[in-house]
Amino acid sequence: MAVQKSRKTPSKRGMRRAHDRLTGPTLSTDPTSGELHLRHHVTPNGFYRGRQVITKPVVNDNSED
């Protein structure tokens, strides 16, 4: 089993941990609606790269029982 010859300094430990930070999600602004969305994802209203790719179905609230 490998055992280190001497103790690592706090500086070396910090340099090793320099790449372990968390990054937030990358957000883009839709050119048509101006709302934020995740990159390479469709916006909630159905737009992707400036085009409408999903149309929402029309819901009728005039149901008479």
Tell me how far apart the alpha carbons of residues 2 and 64 are, in angstroms, rounded to a whole number. Answer: 77
pTM here is: 0.53
Residue-level pLDDT, tens digit, the chain, 65 residues: 899 999 999 999 999 999 999 999 999 888 888 888 899 998 888 888 888 888 877 777 776 65
How many C-beta atoms lie closer than 10 Å to residue 51's C-beta?
9
Q: Provide the residue ranges of all domains of the chain, joining segments of one domain with +.
A: 26-57
Q: Is 63 left (phi over 0), alpha (psi -120 to 50) or beta?
A: beta
